[in-house]
Amino acid sequence: MDLFDLIGPVMIGPSSSHTAGAARIGLTARRLMGEELIRADIGLHGSFAKTYRGHGTDRALVGGLMGMDVDDERLRDSLNIAREAGMVIHFQHMNIRGAHPNTVRLTVTGVSGRVLEVEAASVGGGNIEVHKIDGLSVNFTGKENTIIIRHMDTPGAIAAVTGILASKSVNIANVQGYRRQQGGDAMIVMELDGVPQQEVLDAINALPGVQGSTFLARRSDL
């Protein structure tokens, strides 16, 4: 743990866990969706559910979903901004067994009609952990350059992706594979030392069995 993990980021207050972390969760979900949102169903667990209005968690989450970062002055008015843009927002309390106290489950709908579910926790100092995407268990923080690849579980899938990255001199710091079942829906989560060019992402997306990918750039405050 470093100093920034302890004191938290430059942010719109009042709390790094309930505001900055919440905004990052919303922003991560927005980037994973890759398009503007028309609806957000927000399930709040634990202390998030108890204090979300008083600590501004509701505004932070919605601001992130609108594309606002933790230091964006518009976070304070994000609920009004979202509603004026036509986004339908619904909050509910939720009990998620075994989850971190600051956990939220976001079910968001994009303008294309696509629905995405993201479960994540704010773990202190503005840091987050993403635990599920569309019900599939994953584990990443977004602190490093990260690429998330959705694919069908087939032999050689990870090797094909690593081969493309190696051919373009993109070094892999960490790689994890997740799947529902053998031969079913799967995800590859890779943390990278550098930022891949668009041609690299296009080549990955063109691989057989790949359903799509999202690149999340390393946090700027680190």
Q: What is the pLDDT along the chain (222 residues), one digit of tens a residue?
A: 443 444 444 444 445 566 899 999 999 999 999 999 999 999 999 989 998 887 889 999 999 999 999 989 999 999 999 999 999 999 999 999 999 999 999 999 999 999 999 999 999 989 999 999 999 999 999 999 999 999 999 999 999 999 999 999 999 999 999 999 999 999 999 999 999 999 999 999 999 999 999 999 997 654
Alpha-carbon distance of 195 to 179, in angstroms, equals 25
- The reported pLDDT for the residue numbered 64 is 97
Alpha-carbon distance of 126 to 106, in angstroms, equals 18
List the one residue out of 75, 89, 94 whose CA is nearest residue 23: 75
Domains of the chain by range and CATH? 3-134 (3.30.1330.90), 145-216 (3.30.70.260)
- The reported pLDDT for the residue numbered 221 is 52
- The reported pLDDT for the residue numbered 11 is 47
Residue type at 146 in one-letter notation: T
- The reported pLDDT for the residue numbered 219 is 76
Count of all residues that appear for the chain in the document: 222
Do residues 130 and 142 lie in contact, with contact meaning Cβ atoms separated by under 8 Å? yes
- The reported pLDDT for the residue numbered 3 is 39
